[in-house]
Amino acid sequence: MEDLLKWTPLAQVITTTVFTIVGACVAAASLHVAYRNNFGWPPIALISSIGLKGVGGEHKEFTAVIGFEVWNRRKYPVSIRYMVLSVTNLNIRFVGANATDAVWHVDKTGASHFTSHALGPSDHEVHEVEIPFATKSLDALNAPLQLRITYFDPRSNRMDTVTVDHLYRLMPEKREIFA
């Protein structure tokens, strides 16, 4: 029994230290959750659909239809300054302003939207961009997309950017079932 009494002060120091560290971790987690409950999460963007319109035959001129959503998960409005959709490995036919959404401008590298507008708290908006292109084969279509949305956060008084990378491909990769 006396041997156990010799170790009691050391056990008390160890348990006090462990409980202090655990308490600090719980306080940090509570602080993070409280901050997110007060101000919300950062905005996100999702590419929700990809499609294709066009006429085959001799012309082989098509239009890539890309739909995406922007979600403001903050509890206060943010200002969307501009959106840029960059496309690589695609022979884009330059046509200027898009017919479906006149605020989108299509050039050789993709499409851009430079009209600043506010996105309300816990709100979202849907966009659909049409990019005309020419290709010899739709099977070989493999075009990486990068969507960059720059917004102004009035609470932190700074510009931030949301970036989404996606692969525009009509034919999915062939995967073997039994590898």
Identify the residue whose tokens are 């959750």. Answer: 33
Helix (H, G, I), strand (E, B) or coil at 108: coil
Query: Given pLDDT bands bounded at 50, 70 and 90, which one contains residue 141?
Result: confident
Per-residue pLDDT tens for 18-60?
Answer: 999 999 999 999 999 998 888 888 999 999 998 888 876 666 7
Query: What integer pLDDT is reported at residue 125 of this predicted model?
Result: 95
Query: Given pLDDT bands bounded at 50, 70 and 90, which one contains residue 8?
Result: confident
Q: What is the rounded average pLDDT of the residues 69-89?
A: 94
CA gap 9, 95 in Å, rounded? 80
Whether residue 2 is predicted with pLDDT greater than 80 in this model: the reply is: no
Q: What is the pTM of this model?
A: 0.74
CA gap 80, 6 in Å, rounded? 66
Largest CA distance in the chain: 97
